[in-house]
């Protein structure tokens, strides 16, 4: 199988206009998921509209700083990999909200911040002290493949749920992405396939709203009222919710999220290296990457943000466009930081209707899942051993989290009658089992380590095909 044609390699610095537009494309790609996480947490905490707007700004700022750290060749992997708010922390933080919900959103965010700081520092120590790289032999293509597949394919419901709010607009985005990235043989359109499709669909929504074809409340209605009301600057950056608070419950619950993030990110480093035309990440690269993930989460705790992770949808963007320049990703991070400071700019981007983002998700999430299949091709897929392991891990990833998410099962894991320690431990286990990529990684790693197999069979030491 031939590699995707790389137009700009990791070390390349494109012309400034291309670098800015390609960086903006990364911002638009991460925008939906990164914004969705605070939109989930904010109402659950009882945040006011003003608090929610501040929360979103905090998240943008934290993710921009995290991306700059992760793309630094000394502090992080140095790969062109974007950092965004992690879905892996949703179940643990919901546990924290359930425990401290009566104390108000600012207090909840203080406990979330404390948990992110402690857990982040632990993860940073594991990375920078070179502990994570020692387990690299356990994290083989047989493990990474189904983990990445679970990340992409488990998000199918999110993609379809967003797109189904207005299928014509969502399918317009999908069709335009296919046309711009695969059908037309124009270099610039290939590079900016995603942003071009999103902007065209957004303009259609603006025209439909201005002409009165759709009214307020319609999924594709675009209103600029919030842009007019938004403040010009956001100034509360450091500890915007107050000093962090620390508790065993918050730290314990978040550890499950950190575990899932570590498995996910190791797979992302391999995928990003592959689509960027680079060699496999070395143990040193993996150690620095996980160290940076932990450092970023700890900083997020101080910046009033949420847990961070490497974004597979942006890796999919590299695969679609062939633009793997680290400078492009860092430019996108600077744009994101600017958006966090400029209230009106962030409000303008927030006018993007959900169906437009849903259309981009359909194209990108499928690409992510396919990247997991590509990783699997580096192992021996003719081996019955590998077929059974991968099938078992992927099926468990698709089925077990839904069962674990049932209210009755959750109560069994977190029953306070079992005592605070067992309830906290149960919450940690529940959060791991609720996360598809964690289930896939654990099942595959357990089986791949115990079932005999040669290095060639397991894909150890192979190069991308």
- List per-residue pLDDT tens for the chain, 465 residues long: 344 578 888 888 889 998 998 898 888 777 767 777 787 787 778 887 677 778 888 999 999 999 999 999 889 999 999 998 877 777 678 778 877 878 888 999 999 999 999 999 999 998 899 887 677 677 788 988 888 888 778 878 878 988 999 999 999 999 999 999 888 888 777 777 887 888 899 999 999 999 999 999 899 999 888 788 878 887 778 898 989 998 877 777 777 678 777 877 887 888 888 888 888 888 888 899 999 999 999 999 999 898 888 887 788 788 878 888 899 999 999 999 988 888 777 677 778 888 988 888 888 778 878 878 888 988 998 999 999 999 999 999 999 988 987 888 878 887 777 777 787 778 777 767 877 877 888 899 899 999 999 888 998 865 444
Reading the block at residue 436, the tokens are 């598809």
Q: What pLDDT sits at residue 248?
A: 77
Residues 307 and 300 sit within 8 Å (Cβ to Cβ): yes
Q: What sign does the CA torsion over 64, 67, 71, 75 have?
A: positive
Every domain of the chain and the residues it spans: 16-377
Q: Tell the burial category of 454 from Cβ atoms under 10 Å away from its Cβ (0-12, 13-18, 19+).
A: exposed
CA 179, chain centre distance (Å): 26
Give the phi and the psi of residue 76 in degrees, each rounded to 5: -130, -155
User: What is the C-alpha separation between 357 and 28, in angstroms, rounded?
Assistant: 9
Distances (CA, A) of 304 to 258, 297, 301: 18, 11, 6
Reading the block at residue 362, the tokens are 């359909």
Q: What pLDDT sits at residue 348?
A: 79
Q: What pLDDT sits at residue 125?
A: 92
Bridge partners, 82 (sequence order): none
Q: What pLDDT sits at residue 2?
A: 40
Question: What pTM, to 2 d.p., does this model score?
Answer: 0.71
- To 10 degrees, the CA torsion angle through 82, 437, 137, 319? -40
Q: What pLDDT sits at residue 32?
A: 67
């Amino acid at each position: 199988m031939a590699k995707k044609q790389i137009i700009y390699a990791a070390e390349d610095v494109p012309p400034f206009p291309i670098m800015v537009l390609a960086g903006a494309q990364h911002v638009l790609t991460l925008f939906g998921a990164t914004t969705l996480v605070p939109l989930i947490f904010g109402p659950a905490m009882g945040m006011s509209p003003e608090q929610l707007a501040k929360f979103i700004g905090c998240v943008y700022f934290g993710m921009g700083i995290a991306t700059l750290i992760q793309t630094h060749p000394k502090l992080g992997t140095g790969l062109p990999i974007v950092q965004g708010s992690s879905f892996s922390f949703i179940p643990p933080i919901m546990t924290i909200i359930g425990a401290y919900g009566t104390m108000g959103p600012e207090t909840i965010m203080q406990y979330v911040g404390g948990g992110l700081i402690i857990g982040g520092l632990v993860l940073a120590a594991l990375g920078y002290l070179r502990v994570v790289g020692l387990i690299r032999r356990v994290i083989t293509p047989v493990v990474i493949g189904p983990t990445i597949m679970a990340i992409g394919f488990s998000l199918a419901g999110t993609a379809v749920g967003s797109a189904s709010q207005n299928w014509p607009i969502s399918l317009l985005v999908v069709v335009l992405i296919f046309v711009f990235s695969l059908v037309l043989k124009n270099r610039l359109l290939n590079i900016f396939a995603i942003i071009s499709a999103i902007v065209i669909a957004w303009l259609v929504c603006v025209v439909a709203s201005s002409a009165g074809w759709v009214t307020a409340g319609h999924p594709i209605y675009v209103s600029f009222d919030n842009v007019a009301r938004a403040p010009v600057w956001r100034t509360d950056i450091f500890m915007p919710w107050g000093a962090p608070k620390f508790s065993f419950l918050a730290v314990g619950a978040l550890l499950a999220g950190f575990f899932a993030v570590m498995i996910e990110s190791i797979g992302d480093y391999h995928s990003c290296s592959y689509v960027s035309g680079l060699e496999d990440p070395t143990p040193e690269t993996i150690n620095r990457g996980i160290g940076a993930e932990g450092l970023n989460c700890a900083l997020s705790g101080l910046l009033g943000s949420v847990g961070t992770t490497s974004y597979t949808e942006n890796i999919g963007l590299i695969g679609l466009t062939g633009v793997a320049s680290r400078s492009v990703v860092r430019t996108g991070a600077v744009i994101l930081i600017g958006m966090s400071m400029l209230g009106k700019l962030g409000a303008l981007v927030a006018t993007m209707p959900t169906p437009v983002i849903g259309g981009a998700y359909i194209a990108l999430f499928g690409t992510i899942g396919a990247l997991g299949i590509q990783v699997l091709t580096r192992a021996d897929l003719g081996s019955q051993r590998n077929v059974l392991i991968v099938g078992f891990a992927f099926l468990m990833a698709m089925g077990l989290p839904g069962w674990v998410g049932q209210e009755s099962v959750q109560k069994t894991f977190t029953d306070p009658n079992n005592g605070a320690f067992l309830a906290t431990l149960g919450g940690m286990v529940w959060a791991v089992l609720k996360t598809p990529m964690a289930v896939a990684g654990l099942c595959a790693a357990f089986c791949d380590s115990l079932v005999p197999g040669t290095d060639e069979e397991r894909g150890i030491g192979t190069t991308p095909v």
